[in-house]
A and B are shown apart, each in its own frame.
Chain A
Amino acid sequence: MTPWMLVTVAYSQEAENADGAQAAPQAALAEPAVPENALPGTASSETVADPGAIPQGGFIGNDAYGAIPLGSGWGYVWAVYIVTWLTMLGYAGYLALRNRSTP
């Protein structure tokens, strides 16, 4: 499997054991692994971005960089979707206001 495929291959949620899927992040929280390529002096819970140490393909995953204790990440997902819709609404509002102010 190429690194690129890691980002795009879907899997069936039903096929995955729900308990097993949740256990991994919890274990990572309890005892974060120190990535081998972490810079000296950095905490194990911090991930160091070092493109030179990362294989090409994008997502590097917990295995490559050690634990990233961020939970499910739904907060980031919601932030993206909310800001996306606010941007669309905001720009539409800006155009409407511009229309009114134009004689």
Chain B
Amino acid sequence: MKWHYALGALGVVFLATGHTWGLFFAPPEFMMGDVGRILYAHVPTAWNAMLVYLFAFVAAIGTLWTSKSSWESWLVGFVEVGVVLNILLCFQGAMWAKPTWGVFWDWDPRLTTTAILIALFAGVLIQRSLFHAPDKRRIITGVTAVIAFVNVPIVYFATTWWNSLHQGLSSPDTVSNPMHWPLRVSAFGVLFLAVAFSAERAKQERARLDRDGRAPTLPKAQEQLQLGAE
């Protein structure tokens, strides 16, 4: 069994445990009541989306530094999983915002910068599909991923730097004891799943890059024309 399949299975166990704990055994939140249980799904997704983007940033540096396909494939895996988690966390946040703020969406600093993050990292994947020359594609992907990552600390500190509708940072200091344990278990579940997904996606991308590398180089169109003229 490949290591990331085992990690994914462990992630499912952790996530199921954390969610069951949060839904049925953790106490309701002081002000929001049962709606506060969205905490155990939304916050782990948000934490891990930022963490996966951090991994993508490291992989982007590795890609640019070494030019190796292994780094590049991990970069693609992390960016794609990060975008999936990012879209999911926006949906979860909207579902939490409606019963507490009265609206699904507000152009608050945290929400706005998070939405921009989706566009930036989705842009990395989109522009990657536009380039076919391997060297150019690798450099463009690495550079745009580094540029996109600049927004991650802005998202993280948005509630500190600006007067935000969104609540502040969640940590053991700010979350009550009976709540932060299911939160931690759920967070590890999402982390294990995210790494397992990224590893699988990276494996597929590496196979594709290796296949492209083995493909015979076709003569340029100009050379073909010259051959035809002769």
> Once bound together, how far apart are the Cα atoms of A35 and B12, in whole Å?
44
Measured between C-beta atoms, what is the minimum distance from B10 to chain A in Å? 13
Q: Given the known A-B contacts A49-B165, A84-B45, are A92 and B197 also in contact in the complex, defined by CB atoms under 8 Å?
A: yes
Closest to B88 in A: A87
8 A Cβ contacts from A64-103 to B: 65, 68, 70, 72-74, 76-77, 79-81, 83-84, 87-88, 91-92, 95, 98-99, 102-103
- Interface mask (B19-53 → A, CB under 8 Å = 1, otherwise 0): 10001001111111111111001100100000000
Is A29's CB within 8 Å of the partner chain B?
no
> How many chain A residues touch the partner (CB < 8 A)?
45
**Residue B219 at the A interface, CB < 8 A?**
no
Q: Is B6 among interface residues, defined by CB-CB distance under 8 A? A: no
Q: B15, B108, B167 — which one has the most chain A CB atoms within 10 A of its CB?
A: B167
Count residues of B near A (Cβ-Cβ below 8 Å): 57
Question: Please, which residue of chain B has its CB at the minimum distance from the CB of A57?
Answer: B167
B106:A80 contact, CB within 8 angstroms? no
Per the 8 Å Cβ criterion, residues 140-191 of B in contact with A are 163-168, 170, 174-179
Residue B193 at the chain A interface, CB threshold 8 Å: yes
Instruction: Tell me if A13 and B28 are in contact (CB < 8 A).
Output: yes
The answer to the question of A56 belonging to the interface, with a C-beta cut-off of 8 Å to chain B, is yes
With A74-B34, A95-B197 as known contacts, state yes or no: A10 contacts B27, CB within 8 Å: yes
> Does any Cβ of B come within 8 Å of A17's Cβ?
no
A35-60 CB contacts (< 8 Å) to partner B: 46-49, 51, 54, 56-60
Interface residue B99 (Cβ < 8 Å from any Cβ of A): yes
B103 within 8 A of A: yes
A7 touches B101 (CB 8 A): no
- Known contacts A4-B174, A84-B41: A76-B30 contact under CB 8 Å: no
A-to-B contact residues, CB < 8 Å? 4-13, 21, 46-49, 51, 54, 56-61, 65, 68, 70, 72-74, 76-77, 79-81, 83-84, 87-88, 91-92, 95, 98-99, 102-103
